[in-house]
Structure 1
């Protein structure tokens, strides 16, 4: 009860909040809402220095971001409690919450580096079925609505190699081309949100 009462004091409040947030994130990850993994490579743009920092923090591998964040909050909370308990034992009372938060942040980040890297080694590999728009190139799609003409794209359905369906807007690759409703076509290039395709009836594709 004494520890619970201490959690309600201002000196311990940041760590109590971190603990509650950690539990909430753990529940979100536990029920599998699909929010645990982010494409961090896209955020750093392949920068070597950024990638090295992410690796050091334990974010460069396949560890889901919510698990990493839960681990960080846990390390922060434990570090804060240890600091305040140590201060109470040595000085007769806890430190000001600002000083404790600063120390707990530094220690928590260092501890979480080892914790996150350890978790990344023991967790099963993460397989993502998320693909980029350019991965739809060289795939075949079927025109669903009307006919596709230059300047008048039509909606098409493309099934990727994971078996997932994607619905895109398609125009013929050739200026005078037409891709009829229900016809299949090979996606050959993309400009913005518009994909350009050669119909399978095109003479260029007869041997493909």
Structure 2
């Protein structure tokens, strides 16, 4: 335990602690009807300007930045797409990155300690481990992309969700306390957003069909009870 707290190990220990913290926050959020994962995705992904095709499909190589076709601001967008951001939830990618970085760092420092009797300084080890971790992170996120439902990983402009119907899926939505809801966009792609009643004092239980009337934040909308069955979005 003393070795884990050694100065050279601090960046990796902190990364693992942050990973555990993010995981705990997401679990707690889901229990009360939020989805931190979806909220982060709806805010971050549209701002990356990524066009993320299936890079492992026909006509694409399975590795390397050149295998990703991205309409975005240069190498930053290409790098984010290489890590599958836009196809795998952003928070999930971050948790994978922190986990791989932390574990690789501690394992590497342990090997170095057993061979030389000392740890590398954190300021030297951290950048080296980060670079070495990226291919592993990419392999992990590629694996996640292959098993995640793809219709929940495609991001569009959230403002286009206004006027569409959604179904409350988890928790009870109250004013100031939104709940997770599922909807389909104009292409038939499924998304999850946070929904709260437009009218104060109103509540929406799980299974309630609502109409989104206003965007109130990143991935967060106010809604009214669906006024007409003909408005149900079935694309």
TM-score for both structures, normalised by structure 1: 0.58
SS at match of 1:164: strand
Question: Unaligned 5+ residue runs, structure 1?
Answer: 140-155, 169-183, 185-208
Residue 134 of structure 1: how far off its partner (Å): 4.6
Shift of the 30–136 alpha-carbon distance from structure 1 to 2, 3 Å rule, reads closer
1:79 is matched with: 104
**4+ long deviations beyond 6 Å:** 127-131
2:37 is matched with: 36
* 8 Å CA contact retained: 2:109, 2:119: yes
Structure number with higher relative contact order (C-alpha < 8 Å, ≥ 6 residues apart): 2
Shift of the 45–83 alpha-carbon distance from structure 1 to 2, 3 Å rule, reads same
| Pairing partner for 1:7 from 4, 9, 29 | 4
The number of residues matched between the two structures is 145
Give, in whole Å, the separation in 1 of the partners of 2:120 and 2:114: 11
* 8 Å CA contact retained: 1:80, 1:103: no
Residue 55 of structure 1: how far off its partner (Å): 2.5
Give, in whole Å, the separation in 2 of the partners of 1:52 and 1:65: 15
2:15 is matched with: 18
TM-score for both structures, normalised by structure 2: 0.52
Shift of the 166–113 alpha-carbon distance from structure 1 to 2, 3 Å rule, reads same
Q: Which has the larger radius of gyration?
A: 1
| Pairing partner for 2:127 from 96, 102, 106 | 102
Alignment of 1:21-170 (within 5 A): 21-31=18-28, 32=30, 33-37=34-38, 38-39=41-42, 40-46=44-50, 47-48=71-72, 49=74, 51-61=77-87, 63-125=88-150, 126=152, 132-134=158-160, 136=162, 163-167=210-214
Residue deviations 1:107-141 (CA, integer Å, cap 9, x gap): 122211111111121223427899744555799xx
Residue deviations 1:60-88 (CA, integer Å, cap 9, x gap): 31x22211111100000111012201211
Shift of the 135–72 alpha-carbon distance from structure 1 to 2, 3 Å rule, reads closer
C-alpha RMSD of the superposition? 3.3
Question: Unaligned 5+ residue runs, structure 2?
Answer: 51-70, 166-197, 200-208, 216-226, 228-235
Shift of the 102–164 alpha-carbon distance from structure 1 to 2, 3 Å rule, reads same
Give, in whole Å, the separation in 1 of the partners of 2:146 and 2:92: 13
SS at match of 2:210: coil
SS at match of 1:83: helix
Shift of the 5–131 alpha-carbon distance from structure 1 to 2, 3 Å rule, reads same
